[in-house]
């Protein structure tokens, strides 16, 4: 699934990999954890299942993580970072604020289609690690709000944008990703994002 997190954020405290081989092993463990928890859920998933998928010895797991809970927490942060890194270039290249949200949603749906397990993992985090669950959404909303405020400063959107608008956009993105990324892939991601952008520009008022 790529390299998204800094190793210092991924491994348990004091277990940061110091070599390229160690970083590859850590990456393999995180990717295997995504597959294990995505398929079986947190409670039925196991460390032995993760190491088997990763093709590493059980001792290699404990080289980087203290427990199943620790790798799950790291995985939630890692998946959040992967989404961020996947959508960021398209957002930065967009010509204005609404176009940035459009590009972000389109690339988010593409990411979800390739990594459907993200929904199960993030949803379980609410009960397994509530702090990581809350942080995942809080940080995402903060990034959206910062983009909206910057767009407002440029005169591209209304001046009173704030947290409620950011959380509303994030909520749309989450459920559009669920419907068109996880449940069905019956429409192009770009078309869904275009409709959302039109909605942001014009709302539901009759024209």
Read off the CATH number of the domain in which 21 is found.
1.10.10.60
- Percentage of the residues of the chain whose pLDDT score is greater than 70: 92
User: Which conformational region is residue 203 in: left (phi greater than 0), alpha (psi within -120 to 50 degrees), or beta?
Assistant: left
**Mean pLDDT score of the chain, rounded to an integer?**
92
Q: Which of the pair, 43 or 14, is modelled with greater confidence?
A: 43
Domain ranges, residue 157: 75-202
In a domain, 2, yes or no: no
Residue 14: its pLDDT value, please?
55
Residue 37: its pLDDT value, please?
97
Express each pLDDT in 123-134 by its tens digit: 999 999 999 999
Residues 196 and 169 in one domain: yes
Residue 1: its pLDDT value, please?
44
Residue 125: its pLDDT value, please?
96
**3-state DSSP assignment of residue 31:** helix
CATH of the domain at 157: 1.10.357
Residues 23 and 52 in one domain: yes
Residue 18 has pLDDT above 60, yes or no: yes
Whose CA is closest to 70, among 36, 100, 47, 44? Answer: 47
d(CA 96, CA 62): 46
In a domain, 207, yes or no: no
Residue 15: its pLDDT value, please?
65
- Which of these three, 70, 89, 124, is where a domain ends? 70
Express each pLDDT in 55-69 by its tens digit: 999 999 999 999 999
Number of domain units in the chain: 2
| b/e burial code for range 6-15 (CB count within 10 A of at least 16 → b) | ebeebbbeeb
**CA-to-CA separations, 115 to 108, 167, 177, 206, in angstroms, rounded:** 10, 23, 11, 37
Residues 132 and 49 in one domain: no
In a domain, 132, yes or no: yes
Residues 79 and 66 in one domain: no
Average pLDDT over residues 139-152: 97
Q: What does pTM read for this prediction? A: 0.89
In a domain, 101, yes or no: yes
Residue 187: its pLDDT value, please?
96
Residues 52 and 93 in one domain: no
Residues 44 and 103 in one domain: no
Token couple for 31: 């990717």
Residues 91 and 63 in one domain: no
Residue 8 has pLDDT above 80, yes or no: no
């Amino acid at each position: 699934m790529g390299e998204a997190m800094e190793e210092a954020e991924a491994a348990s405290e004091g277990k940061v990999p110091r070599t390229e081989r160690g970083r590859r092993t850590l990456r393999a463990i995180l990717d295997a954890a995504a597959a294990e928890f995505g398929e079986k859920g947190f409670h039925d998933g196991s460390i032995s299942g993760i190491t088997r998928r990763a093709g590493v010895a059980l001792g290699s797991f404990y080289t980087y993580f203290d427990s199943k809970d620790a790798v799950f927490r790291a995985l939630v942060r890692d998946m959040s970072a992967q989404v961020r890194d996947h959508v960021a270039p398209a957002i930065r290249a967009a010509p204005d604020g609404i176009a940035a949200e459009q590009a972000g949603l389109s690339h988010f749906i593409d990411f979800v289609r390739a990594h459907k397990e993200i929904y199960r993992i993030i949803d379980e985090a609410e009960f397994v690690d509530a702090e990581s669950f809350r942080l995942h959404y809080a940080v995402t909303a903060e990034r959206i709000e910062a983009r909206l405020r910057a767009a407002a400063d440029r005169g591209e959107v209304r001046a009173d944008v704030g947290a409620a608008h950011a959380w509303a956009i994030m909520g749309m993105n989450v459920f559009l990703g669920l419907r068109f990324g996880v449940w069905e892939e019956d429409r192009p991601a770009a078309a869904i994002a275009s409709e959302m952008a039109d909605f942001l520009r014009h709302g539901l008022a009759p024209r």
